[in-house]
Amino acid sequence: MGWLYMKSLKGHVGPSHYLDDQLTYDQDGVRSLVLKSALVAQRVYYAAVEQKRPGREREVFAVVCLVDYNPHASDGYLFGYKDMTETMGPYESDCPEPILDLLTPTDNDYARAWRERCRANAARRVA
């Protein structure tokens, strides 16, 4: 999937608020809620997203969005993002630990490897 660009944040005060709103919904019995999010270095958005589906256990997984925000863009496209989940094994791996701490266990190998990289990067930042 590619990038999505727009000329407006549709009334939201910034990229994080826009993305939080997009990932929070209640539709066709599926409830999705952003529990915690962060925009790191103004270029990568991380979120712990809780989903509840009928007949299934509650799941909290990570969403990662690459962000391009330029409110003064000459072409008028001030905001763009590329979204993915942790199961896609994103390259970006600086997810804050408070978000990682909210995630439920997973058996997806890509997600587990991504979480390990994020924890290792967090430990290096502290050291």
- Residue appearing with tokens 């939080």: 20
Instruction: Give residue limits of the domains in the chain.
Output: 4-126
pLDDT of residue 1: 64
Q: What is the pLDDT along the chain (127 residues), one digit of tens a residue?
A: 689 999 999 999 999 999 999 999 999 999 999 999 999 999 999 999 999 999 999 999 999 999 999 999 999 999 999 999 999 999 999 999 999 999 999 999 999 999 999 999 999 888 7
Rounded to 5°, the CA angle 97-99-100 comes to 60
Cβ(46)–Cβ(96) below 8 Å: yes
Would you give the end-to-end CA distance of the chain in angstroms? 36
Strand partners, 37: 47
